[in-house]
Amino acid sequence: MSGEVILRTKGLTKRFGGLVAVNNIGFDVNAGEILGLIGPNGSGKSTVMQLIMGIHKPTAGEVLLGGENVAGWPPHRIARHGIGIVFQHSRPLHRQTVLENIKLALLPDSLIKLAADPHVDRQAREIAERVGLGAVINRHPSTLAFADLRRIEMAKAIARDPKVVLVDEPFAGLAADEVKVFSDLIRDFRNDGRAVLLVDHNVKSVSALADRVFAMYLGERVTEGTAEEVMQNETVRRVYLGGKIETIQKDEAESEAKPPLLEVRGVKAFYGKAQALDNVSIEVKEGQFISVVGLNGAGKTTLFNAISGLVPYQGEIRFAGETLRGKTAGAIGRAGVVQCPETRELFTDMTVRENLDLGGYHMPPAETAKQLAWMFELFPILNSRQNQRAGTLSGGEQQMLAIARALMMQPKLLILDEPTLGLAPVILEQLSKALELLRQTTSITVLLGEQNVTFALPHADRVYVLEHSRIIWEGKPQRFAEEMGAGYL
């Protein structure tokens, strides 16, 4: 099936400041071949894609397109040289029709060509037919379904007639039958003899499509091979499932007997036309530690943002017996729901101490001092870093600071959204210890969202598994391994 090498990366490396996002990555993609590039969030796979496209310039290494090194070229030159990209988010021109959006991709990069060549119109119509947009060709994007918006992105990539197609999360937000249609479109790329690079979070979603899979973790190559081989790989299993899943025995009867602090019932949420939450219900009792696990894009962050009043939703969310509907994000925060977002949102130009002080701003000074002392007990490293600018901390320290700042606000419910994002295993252990200490020393209620199961399970009283915007499993962490283990990867 596979022909000559079209795209080859060699020693591709990218540093952002002190952070090594991509380290010495090298792979080949042949003509008529689909390579799946997988890795959990923060593994650097998207950065690799951006390096190939030229959106970021690599710190070192080569991107060879048909033998020519295009690393460091501006994106428009790389695009003209034969690399196309299908973005995950569709951002069409809204004032233009579907047809005009496709025509755009067929235009030359010229200032003086004011009218499109006549063949452009015919070509655009053919491409629209091919991706299944024939019926809506004269409509405006705002009137289209989500899958059709993705089809426009697909059509634009086809129009560019690239030798290499990069596809970012091809199936995000699509229903099962639509996944089939898009899989066929991607297979068509292969049948046309193009080299295809699929970038996704997990092996499962690309295994049916990819000829080979290249797995990354923390910027490094983990393994390469067929989908089955990669799924068997020890490191891959550890990255996604964790090694041995340990759980801490707790007095369940006691924790389940408490009154519920947070009740989420039948919540649905949409981003434009993409459904992010579908009938999600969870319950958190006072003092419990509840984990919501799910791969990236499953809907965890949307769920937390709905609870925090940051995204509109249908359904009911109650906190301490009162409905949160109609309350502003600020009011919800003051009621005691504090979210520690995955993006951390630190004030990077302020010192560690200033960040913490801002968290405790609403309290009397004596209280703040007490709270601060407790934070330094939980996270000793922050004590020695008090006067350092938050932006200069390592990823792990930043995460600790983000959690500490959230705790300074004395939350009743602490929501931690993917605290392990992009952190090295040794940091995870420190973080895990701090969470355990938090559990033992306070009666705080915690809702944790994670894709790293090993991290999420040990502390949890109960676990929910979120997949494709639905809760597909709920139960004790002890039962997770036997009931969910294999299906999760």
Partner 1 sequence: MIKIARSPLLWFAVIAIAVAALLPLWVSGYILGILTVAYYYGVFSMAWDLLFGFAGEVNFGPTFLIGLGAYGAALLDNAGLGVPLSMIGGTVAALVGGLMLALPALRMRGPYFGLVTLVAVLILQNVIVIFAHFTGGEIGMTVADVLSIDTNVNYWYALGFMVVCGIILFGLSRSALGLILQASGQDPIEAQALGFNVTKHKLAAFCISAIFSGLTGTMLVFYMGAASVGTIVDISIGVQIIIAAVLGGRRTILGGVIGAIFLILATEFLRPLGQLNTFVVSGVALLVILFFPDGMFGYLLRRGERG
Give the contact letters, 290-309, x = binds to partner 1 (CB under 8 A), - = no.
--------------------
Give φ, ψ of 341 to 5 degrees. -70, 160
Least separation in angstroms between residue 10's CB and partner 1 is 22
For residue 266, count CB atoms less than 10 angstroms from its CB and return exposed for 0-12, middle for 13-18, buried for 19 or more.
middle
Q: CA 485, CA 487: separation in Å to the nearest integer? A: 6
Least separation in angstroms between residue 196's CB and partner 1 is 16
Q: Is 113 in the site for partner 1 (CB under 8 A)?
A: yes
Which residue is it, tokens 């460091």? Answer: 72
Q: Is 253 in the site for partner 1 (CB under 8 A)?
A: no
Q: Is 80 in the site for partner 1 (CB under 8 A)?
A: yes
Q: Is 109 in the site for partner 1 (CB under 8 A)?
A: yes
- Return the range that interacts with partner 1 (CB under 8 A); candidates 111-119, 225-233, 295-303, 309-317: 111-119
- Return the range that interacts with partner 1 (CB under 8 A); candidates 77-85, 189-197, 206-214, 260-268: 77-85
Instruction: Quote the tokens at residue 362.
Output: 């609403």
Q: Which residues lie closer than 8 Å to 231 by C-beta, 6 or more apart?
A: 203, 207, 237, 489
Q: Is 91 in the site for partner 1 (CB under 8 A)?
A: yes
Which residue is it, tokens 């969202």? Answer: 449
Q: CA 197, CA 165: separation in Å to the nearest integer? A: 6
Least separation in angstroms between residue 70's CB and partner 1 is 13
Least separation in angstroms between residue 148's CB and partner 1 is 17
Residues 227, 231, 234: CA angle, nearest 5 degrees: 140
Least separation in angstroms between residue 38's CB and partner 1 is 22
Residues 465, 469, 474: CA angle, nearest 5 degrees: 20
Least separation in angstroms between residue 156's CB and partner 1 is 6
Instruction: Quote the tokens at residue 287.
Output: 């003092």
Instruction: Quote the tokens at residue 394.
Output: 């390592």
> Which CB, 79 or 390, lies closer to partner 1?
79
Which residue is it, tokens 């034969």? Answer: 82
Q: Is 107 in the site for partner 1 (CB under 8 A)?
A: yes
Most distant CA pair in the chain, distance:
76
For residue 161, count CB atoms less than 10 angstroms from its CB and return exposed for 0-12, middle for 13-18, buried for 19 or more.
middle
- Return the range that interacts with partner 1 (CB under 8 A); candidates 51-59, 371-379, 432-440, 443-451: 51-59
Q: Is 119 in the site for partner 1 (CB under 8 A)?
A: no
Residues numbered 274-293 forming contacts with partner 1, rule: CB under 8 A: none
Give φ, ψ of 315 to 5 degrees. 105, -170
Q: Is 160 in the site for partner 1 (CB under 8 A)?
A: yes
Q: Is 172 in the site for partner 1 (CB under 8 A)?
A: no
DSSP letter for 134, please. Answer: G
Please identify which residue in 140, 204, 327, 476 interacts with partner 1, judged by CB under 8 A. Answer: 140
Q: Which residues bind partner 1 (CB under 8 A)?
A: 53-55, 74-76, 79-80, 84-85, 87, 91, 93, 95-96, 100, 103-105, 107, 109-111, 113-116, 140, 143, 156, 160
